[in-house]
Chains A and B, each alone.
Chain A
Amino acid sequence: MADGQALLRMEGISKRYGGVHALEDAHLDVHAGRVHAILGENGAGKSTLIKVMSGVVAPDQGRMYLDGREVSFANPAAANRAGIVCIFQELSLIPDLSVADNIIASNPPTRFGLIDRRAQRRLAEEALVKAGGEDIHPRARVGDLPLSRQQIVEIAKALARKPRLLILDEATSALTAADVTRVMAVLKRLRSDGMALLYISHRMHEIAELADECTVFRNGRNVESYEQGAKTDNEVVEMMIGREYRHAFPPKPPRPAEETPPALAVRNLSWTDKLSDISLEVRPGEVVGLGGLDGQGQRDLLLALFGVLRGVTGEIAIDGRPMAIDSPRQAKSADVGMALIPEDRKTEGLMLPMSVLHNLSFAALGRHARFGIIDRQAEATSVDEMIRLLAIRSNGTSIPVSALSGGNQQKVVIAKWLMLSPRIILLNDPTRGIDVGTKQEIYQLLRKLSGEGAAIILYSTDYDELIGCCDRVLVMYDGTIKTELAGDEITEHALISSALNIAPQAGAATGEAGHAPVSAASGSVA
């Protein structure tokens, strides 16, 4: 542990939502000039912890000390004034305002009561430079910037408040590898400037690279704090899930024979400047992964297959028959039999205020209806069946789906499509933001479905998942499939080097760091 007084100390913090303890008697010490990583499953209390710290929610119990003096924050602005600034997982940027307006959002420089735009712009430019975003124009509208640039603006905005404690909550999840490299460099510099950083991430390698000290949370309590490097990854995972870490991935059965006719065959598919000349085949019983850096067209490819995109060229054949799929409605019809587990379950997968029952049955409603009239008996029966099959933990089916945990919500999204018994299943990063236990259940389920003859395309930002789940991986780069890896070729090393689109020998040099993003490649990526 670091010497001296903690910059921020939290003691016995508890916070309840309804009947659930989000935080229970939590303790934490954060020191200046150090990076403190927080680990834990989803629902472990990390988000609540930082919300308390940054004044977004008030704790039910407990004390906070800043420089040894007790403090409490009425709102985020009060926390900011005390030098605690948080970069939240959901962006806190205002899309219709300019970059400069956003960076200097809370208390801009004023002259005669009006905002001094020239001074503001100067401050914004300074902050952008500090955050590694020199290329972003302060007058650009934030909503027009790509997500990764917005994240840089978010960091600049935090720095402009001259924080003493900077909290980053999954702040790198939207960034490309090149941007992560830049952000890491920025964070290291801030640490050496004496700032305290609280770093929350699911990416172990980022924590390994950056953190000085780690604290693991589970069920709203802090389990243990240790110096970075004192524990093995396996020990950490055990602390996180509170039980022995089982082998995560189910065994892969032998791959289907090459001559098995593909369930889905795509020839020369292109779409605007985002996808070009993509050809692929997926056989029944096969799990095909989409790899590559985030944002190389993987999402667009899934949407194109599912009939969401307009102006897609090329051929799609289902069971050998050419098909023009131009809407999700057609994609799910019996002669295509396709399902898409979308990227964002909250806006694309679920109707959050509606009941678990109505969410589960919605996609397959036509199956339980005649002439548009719902057979509620049949509906309830098959919903119950799905809940059992996927072990969805829900207090009855009439509660709103928003009351379920993230993992169970995702299971609902998957289950509502399984009710249609799809033959082709597209999954867009289905385990993002989901606890380890549910992840494993999803892996098992994917294997089971493919064993039953489904053709599966899985896009994942998690390389381990691609390695553990997929029979083949198609690595995408800049809207095309650059590399195909099959069987034993799917290694972390191969995935990373082909994701960065660099020659294998160059990859070998960088690959030894394991996960480390490759700075040499950043030029070609950005």
Chain B
Amino acid sequence: MKEWRFFAAEQRATLLALVLFLVMFIIYVSNHPAGFTPNVVQTASNKGVILAFVAMAQTLVVLTAGIDLSVGMIFILCNCVGSYVLGGTMASALGGAGLVLLTGLGCGMVNGLIVIFGRLQPIVTTIATGAIFFGLALWLRPFPGTVPDFNGDLADLFTGKLFGVVPASLVFLLAVVLVVWVPLSRSVIGRAIYAVGSSDMAAYMSGMPVKLARFTAFAVGGLLAGFGGLFLTFFTYSGEASLANGDNYTLFSIAAVVLGGVSLYGGRGSAIGAIFGALAFRTIGDLLFVFDFDPLWQPLFQGLVLALAVTFGAARLFRIRNRLEMFS
């Protein structure tokens, strides 16, 4: 086999997600009343980037064959924290942004510690910690609100356009990918994250840092959810402890991860695929808008597209000649 074919095989899921997104996006902009203008792209990317961060967070945990049902709540908590600390001068607001990210990191670390040292299943652990994180968010923001001196300039810097064309949020997303995801995925720990998800016993037998990998996945996942919460605050200038929003982002992050070609059984996929999955999922939601449908149909449409996408994923089933392979 040629080298490029190995590359294609490794990246197939990510490339598929990219194609899916591009198709959706082309349909979207070509039918958008305003067309392909920087403003349309900016709005689309701001909404997409928030989900993309949460989806990346989910990806890390899913790669270890776990699931983080608290990711939406970490995101909401970080949003609420942000609505307190992103005020004042540029410097203090930047410091506040650091605090928001630390909050996310801390939440992720708590999840990781409980799962690893408590030896509990991620799914039940994060259901419980999700309640705790949401409780904290509710404590901070019983009602939606913000600090009086919220630094809108900083927020606009991240949600505006660079040179009047490129959406800043996309550039920032790219920067996070380059600074967080790329080094992590190429490090020893990153490889262990994949290995743990693929076969944790084999990873342990191979002397890989199994616990550290799990912990890192949860912790960095929390950090990335923190980026999402930060961006939501930049976007809305305020914080809101919305249960529905938190639940939705958790659910959408799983949808994005699946559309992005990350295997829920762990070990396969990449955060970059999940980003495209998130952007595609967002675009699907917006498609109805450009076709002048009643927004009431949006959830049904999103559900059907998700169902359709995963059903296509099931096509491999028809190639299975040995029924025992269905169970693995």
Task: With both chains docked as a complex, state the minimum distance between the C-beta of B189 and any C-beta of chain A, in angstroms.
Answer: 10
Write out the residue numbers on chain A whose beta carbons fall within 8 Å of the beta carbon of B205: 56, 76, 88, 92
**Band of interface residues on A:** 35 or more
- State which residues 70-89 of A face B: CB under 8 Å: 75-77, 80, 88
- A88, A114, A348: the one within 8 Å of B186 (CB): A114
CA distance A519 to B201 in the complex (A): 35
- Asked whether A97 is an interface residue with its Cβ less than 8 Å from the other chain, the reply is yes
A108–B188 CB distance below 8 A: yes
A309–B195 CB distance below 8 A: no
- B6, B191, B206, B323: the one within 8 Å of A310 (CB): B323
Binds B, one of A133-141, A402-410, A447-455: A133-141
Interface string of A439-476 (1 = CB under 8 A from B): 00000000000000000000000000000000000000
Task: With both chains docked as a complex, state the minimum distance between the C-beta of B55 and any C-beta of chain A, in angstroms.
Answer: 20
Residue of A nearest to B322 (CB): A309
CA distance A95 to B324 in the complex (A): 18
B202–A94 CB distance below 8 A: yes
Task: With both chains docked as a complex, state the minimum distance between the C-beta of B14 and any C-beta of chain A, in angstroms.
Answer: 14
B322–A105 CB distance below 8 A: no
CA distance A283 to B199 in the complex (A): 44
Task: With both chains docked as a complex, state the minimum distance between the C-beta of A118 and any C-beta of chain B, in angstroms.
Answer: 12
Interface string of B293-328 (1 = CB under 8 A from A): 000000000000000000000000000111110000
- Asked whether A311 is an interface residue with its Cβ less than 8 Å from the other chain, the reply is yes
CA distance A75 to B9 in the complex (A): 34
A115-B186, A115-B191 known; A94-B198 Cβ under 8 A: yes
CA distance A110 to B189 in the complex (A): 12
- Asked whether B1 is an interface residue with its Cβ less than 8 Å from the other chain, the reply is yes
B202–A308 CB distance below 8 A: no
A93–B208 CB distance below 8 A: no
**Band of interface residues on B:** 20 to 34
A114-B187, A115-B191 known; A105-B207 Cβ under 8 A: yes
- Asked whether A129 is an interface residue with its Cβ less than 8 Å from the other chain, the reply is no
- Asked whether A272 is an interface residue with its Cβ less than 8 Å from the other chain, the reply is yes
Write out the residue numbers on chain B whose beta carbons fall within 8 Å of the beta carbon of A113: 183, 187
Residue of B nearest to A307 (CB): B323
A105–B186 CB distance below 8 A: no
- Asked whether A199 is an interface residue with its Cβ less than 8 Å from the other chain, the reply is no
- B188, B194, B267, B323: the one within 8 Å of A309 (CB): B323
Write out the residue numbers on chain A whose beta carbons fall within 8 Å of the beta carbon of B1: 137, 140
A95-B199, A96-B267, A114-B187 known; A308-B322 Cβ under 8 A: yes
CA distance A96 to B207 in the complex (A): 17
A92-B202, A95-B199, A105-B207 known; A271-B191 Cβ under 8 A: no
Interface string of B176-205 (1 = CB under 8 A from A): 000000010011100100110111011111
Write out the residue numbers on chain B whose beta carbons fall within 8 Å of the beta carbon of A94: 194-195, 198-199, 202-203, 206, 267
- Asked whether B292 is an interface residue with its Cβ less than 8 Å from the other chain, the reply is no
Write out the residue numbers on chain A whose beta carbons fall within 8 Å of the beta carbon of B10: 98, 139, 141
A106–B206 CB distance below 8 A: yes
CA distance A105 to B194 in the complex (A): 12
CA distance A114 to B190 in the complex (A): 10
A110–B9 CB distance below 8 A: no
Residue of A nearest to B206 (CB): A105
Write out the residue numbers on chain B whose beta carbons fall within 8 Å of the beta carbon of A317: none
- Asked whether A101 is an interface residue with its Cβ less than 8 Å from the other chain, the reply is yes
A96-B268, A309-B321 known; A76-B202 Cβ under 8 A: no
CA distance A102 to B205 in the complex (A): 11
- State which residues 143-191 of B face A: CB under 8 Å: 183, 186-188, 191
A92–B206 CB distance below 8 A: yes
CA distance A140 to B7 in the complex (A): 10
Write out the residue numbers on chain B whose beta carbons fall within 8 Å of the beta carbon of A75: 207
Task: With both chains docked as a complex, state the minimum distance between the C-beta of B240 and any C-beta of chain A, in angstroms.
Answer: 39
- Asked whether A6 is an interface residue with its Cβ less than 8 Å from the other chain, the reply is no
Write out the residue numbers on chain A whose beta carbons fall within 8 Å of the beta carbon of B198: 94-97
A101-B191, A113-B187 known; A139-B6 Cβ under 8 A: yes
- B194, B195, B208, B323: the one within 8 Å of A308 (CB): B323
A94-B203, A95-B267 known; A271-B321 Cβ under 8 A: yes
- State which residues 58-102 of B face A: CB under 8 Å: none
CA distance A407 to B1 in the complex (A): 44
Write out the residue numbers on chain B whose beta carbons fall within 8 Å of the beta carbon of A95: 198-199, 202, 267
CA distance A107 to B206 in the complex (A): 10
- Asked whether A91 is an interface residue with its Cβ less than 8 Å from the other chain, the reply is yes
- Asked whether A66 is an interface residue with its Cβ less than 8 Å from the other chain, the reply is no
CA distance A97 to B199 in the complex (A): 10
CA distance A348 to B199 in the complex (A): 19
- Asked whether A516 is an interface residue with its Cβ less than 8 Å from the other chain, the reply is no
Task: With both chains docked as a complex, state the minimum distance between the C-beta of A418 and any C-beta of chain B, in angstroms.
Answer: 23
Task: With both chains docked as a complex, state the minimum distance between the C-beta of B151 and any C-beta of chain A, in angstroms.
Answer: 34
Residue of B nearest to A274 (CB): B321
Report which residue of B1, B183, B197, B205 has the largest number of chain A beta carbons within 10 angstroms of its beta carbon: B205
Write out the residue numbers on chain B whose beta carbons fall within 8 Å of the beta carbon of A88: 205
Write out the residue numbers on chain A whose beta carbons fall within 8 Å of the beta carbon of B207: 75-77, 80, 105-107
Write out the residue numbers on chain B whose beta carbons fall within 8 Å of the beta carbon of A80: 207
8 nearest A-B pairs in the assembled complex, by CB-CB distance:
A77-B207, A96-B267, A92-B205, A96-B198, A106-B207, A105-B206, A139-B6, A114-B186
A-B contact pairs, 23 of them (CB 8 A): A56-B205, A76-B204, A77-B207, A88-B205, A92-B205, A92-B206, A94-B198, A95-B198, A95-B267, A96-B197, A96-B268, A97-B195, A105-B207, A110-B188, A115-B187, A115-B191, A140-B6, A157-B206, A308-B323, A310-B323, A311-B321, A327-B323, A348-B324
- Beyond the given A76-B204, A95-B202, A140-B6, please list 17 additional residue pairs across the A-B interface where CB-CB is below 8 A: A88-B205, A92-B206, A94-B195, A96-B194, A96-B197, A96-B198, A106-B208, A114-B187, A115-B187, A271-B321, A303-B324, A309-B321, A309-B322, A309-B323, A310-B321, A310-B323, A348-B324
- B contact set with A: CB distance below 8 Å: 1, 3, 6, 9-10, 183, 186-188, 191, 194-195, 197-199, 201-208, 267-268, 320-324
